[in-house]
Chain A
Amino acid sequence: MKNCDYENVDAADLKARTERLLADGGRMQGLYAWFPSASHAELRYVATLPGQTQFVGWSVDVGDDAIPSLAGVCPLLGWHEREIMEMSGVAFSGHPEPARLVTACLPRGERGPLEPDRVTRASVAADLPAPSLPAVSGRHVQLLPFGPVRADVLESAQFIFLYLGEGILHYHPNLFVKHRGMERQFEGMEPASATLVAERVDGVDTVAHSLAYVQALEDAANCQVSERAAWSRLVAAELERIYNHLHYLGHLCHTTTLKVGEAQGKLLEERAKQINARASGSRFLRSVIWPGGVRRELDVGAIASGLRVLKPQVEQYIALIERTTSHLDRLISTAPLSQKLAFDQGATGPIERASGIDRDLRRDHPYAAYRTLPPSVALAEEGDAFARMKVRIAELRASIALVERAIAEPAPDGPLLVPCAPAALAEGLGWAESARGTVLYAVHMDGEARLARVKIKSPSFSNWRVFPSTVHDSNMMDYAINEASFGLTISGCAR
């Protein structure tokens, strides 16, 4: 394992260590629990430090006492800690909202779904209360539960609004009605086959999820993929960003009722998906990424001819959007997210970059072929819906340029696939910058080199955590625009 350096840390030192990490400009990336044996649980804190490509981590033994919650020091860990309490049964003390999150809509069990079968240690999973709404009184306050079946073709989730006139007093999203138990699904699987499961965690982030997963496996197996495979991975990942960002722009036009803009954005998305199909056989670029490399060669000719047609159409489309004042008026100053809030609550991807946080895994922690083909990273300072759109537009242009640069030269030499089989009890960490932000996978093998534990940290989990803070004190008319400006998925969040 080379991608992350773990250090054993005592639970009592966690708070001081986290404060020091943050003071040093570091950032917490994720937290999960796993069970090295049925009687023994361990926590893993995963973080990054400025100027260091490798991730850093702490490994904390869970004894009989509750682990001190870090939600007060590093608020983005709040949801991670709740998930660990309900899924793995590990107790945290002093948590500000010790209620169920992921399992809120599931029948309550004696133990958490991620606790091993013959576990012997005590579990807090059954003791956690369901999440509750704050007590709100007032004659004119209205309660609007919206969903889980919503208008249009949308993913299922329920949004609860407490509002007064047009003003939203409180907003609570129930995001886990479609929790599918993805992390548990990996357990016991043969590691290569499980790539197919990773591809299906979040359909529109297929490449990013499968890439982060196989990179975690390759880290566990000490396997180096060929330059050719790394190049193919970069091209596939950028094609994924292109169709996602086009969808984003079309959907944003939908919420500002710019009908032709919506139609054109979605038409360009369709053309991008058709390029994907001609390049890889799949409109979602599925069946490409595999541990040790890639399963199929991408059709460079199809990509080149497709982009030649698409690029001027995209430029024309962007130019129209940028001149449409009625559209821009609805975005400028709508739902601003401050840099501090974005950092503290763990915003990721285009969302944090629109709030002035200059961070991109492709540049700061390069993988695939991003070392030789570095992306240009888009930034904005304002943090409003307009900034979020501007960042996506700049990324869309940068992705097209990057793919063009990659396919301008002949693909590097090397085999498409090299053997990659992690040994028994090995572990690894992998990451990818999806169209929506950081995807992080941690894998642990069991004694027979099958998967014992897979942790998925998806960007939508992080960004949904941030999102409600931009809704409170805003108004109902802006809600749909604000949500579209974040570009979230529910499947990635609920897993």
Chain B
Amino acid sequence: MSLWTWFGLKTGSASTAWPLEGDDDGQQDVLGMPRYDPDECEPDCNACANVCVTHAISLAPSPDMAVRPEVDWGRCIVCQRCTEVCPTGAFTASGDWALGVHERADLKWDTQMSERVVHEVTERTRRPFARSLHIRHVDAGSCNGCESELQALNNPYYNLHRLGIFFTPSPRFADVLLVTGPVTKAMHGPLLQTWEAMPAPRWVIATGTCAVSGGVTGGNYACGTGLDGVLPVDIYLPGCPPNPAALIHALLMIAGRSRQRMRGGQIER
């Protein structure tokens, strides 16, 4: 239709320059994972752990009086409840989102882990994928929140194609398997079949808190507890759902074009 051609030409590009240039990632005012400062904790306070429905915050029983909450961002559904009930400001709301990590342990709060020196080496085999990465997505029981954000990646604002990243219908053409949902019992088989149909080298992204740890329904009669023990995971990306910028960051990590920003549960600033 000439109508639409004219409209498209007149409108011009609607895409953001991020992440190649600038910082307009489209996530203005989006609340991400809370910030945690254990030094602010009061002894004998368990307000945060009591309201955390997915047990991202827990208190290990200990003879030590000054026991502090253990935090696992891999279980966090970003509900902001801890930031509302914390009496001291140990948990505060923040916009932190670049949470993709290679090792599951890096999502757990651990000061020693966060301070270790890491040399990230991009494997030679990844080079060819830096500007041509094909994704097969499998919904293994999500609430459709993750799908909504994944679909957003192809809208003109994020325009994933410009980064050389494409969704592909066939697992035979896919380099990355992007899985959402806690892996329901009925989707377990189709998920494995999709994985087996993919050529090597292949990578797996556990997308969203459900795929990382099970989320709100993990381990009930119909659901598993995410991808651990089901498939070898290369990137864990928690979030409920992870926003499109976080998804792009994780995909670029696979392509060797972005760095891991979270270590030992702490995000570099």
Contacts and interface: CB of A to CB of B under 8 A. Distances in A.
Interface of A: 105-107, 109, 113, 148-156, 176-182, 184-185, 189, 193-194, 196-197, 199-204, 206, 247, 250, 258-261, 263-264, 266-267, 269-271, 273-274, 277-278, 281-284, 286-287, 295, 299, 302, 320, 323-324, 326, 489-492
B117 interface: no
A182 B210 CA distance: 13
Contacts of A153: 137, 147, 150-151, 154, 167
B186 interface: yes
Contacts of A266: 151-152, 154-156
B156 A263 contact: yes
Contacts of A286: 78-79, 240
Contacts of A149: 136, 138, 171, 190-191, 193-194
A68 to B, nearest CB: 29
B223 interface: yes
A201 B167 CA distance: 26
B29 interface: yes
A323 B28 CA distance: 35
A260 B141 contact: no
B103 interface: no
Nearest to B185: A106
Interface in B198-246: 215-217, 220-223, 240-241, 243
A163 to B, nearest CB: 20
Contacts of B158: 270
A113 B157 CA distance: 43
A270 B26 contact: yes
A121 B185 CA distance: 27
Interface in B77-122: 77-81, 84, 93
A250 B154 CA distance: 12
B216 A204 contact: no
Closest 9 CB pairs of A and B: A203-B145, A151-B169, A105-B186, A281-B31, A266-B155, A181-B222, A260-B4, A203-B143, A177-B186
Contacts of B136: 149
A202 B147 CA distance: 11
B222 A260 contact: no
Given A185-B217, A287-B31, A180 B141 contact: yes
Given A193-B51, A287-B31, A200 B216 contact: yes
Between B148, B186, B217, the greatest number of chain A beta carbons within 10 A of the residue's beta carbon is seen for B186
A196 B53 contact: yes
Given A177-B186, A287-B80, A156 B4 contact: no
A372 B197 CA distance: 57
25 contacts: A106-B222, A151-B169, A155-B139, A155-B147, A156-B140, A177-B190, A178-B184, A180-B141, A181-B223, A193-B81, A196-B216, A200-B216, A203-B146, A203-B241, A247-B151, A260-B5, A263-B155, A264-B7, A269-B152, A271-B157, A283-B243, A286-B78, A286-B240, A320-B4, A489-B144
A109 B221 CA distance: 10
Nearest to A157: B139
B187 interface: yes
Interface of B: 1, 3-5, 7-8, 11, 14, 26-31, 51, 53, 77-81, 84, 93, 136-152, 154-158, 167, 169-171, 181-182, 184-187, 190-191, 193-194, 215-217, 220-223, 240-241, 243
A180 B139 contact: no
A450 to B, nearest CB: 13
A178 B141 contact: yes
A313 to B, nearest CB: 10
Contact of B221 (A113, A176, A281): A113
A176 B186 contact: yes
Nearest to B93: A281
A156 B136 CA distance: 13
B17 to A, nearest CB: 16
B221 A181 contact: yes
A352 B267 CA distance: 49
Contacts of B184: 177-180
A189 B216 CA distance: 12
Between A149, A267, A492, the greatest number of chain B beta carbons within 10 A of the residue's beta carbon is seen for A149
B190 A156 contact: yes
Given A149-B190, A180-B141, A266-B155, 14 more contacts: A106-B222, A154-B147, A180-B181, A181-B221, A193-B81, A194-B53, A202-B143, A203-B142, A258-B4, A266-B152, A284-B241, A287-B31, A287-B80, A491-B143
A201 B217 CA distance: 10
Nearest to B157: A270
A71 B191 CA distance: 36
A331 to B, nearest CB: 15
Contacts of A152: 167, 169
A267 B158 CA distance: 9
Contacts of B53: 189, 193-194, 196-197
Nearest to A316: B7
Contact of B139 (A178, A189, A271, A295): A178
A271 B241 CA distance: 17
A151 B135 CA distance: 11
B221 A184 contact: yes
Nearest to A182: B217
Contacts of A259: 4
A206 B193 CA distance: 32
Contacts of A201: 143
Nearest to B149: A283
A277 B170 CA distance: 34
A200 B30 contact: no
B11 to A, nearest CB: 8
B31 A326 contact: no
Contacts of B241: 203, 284
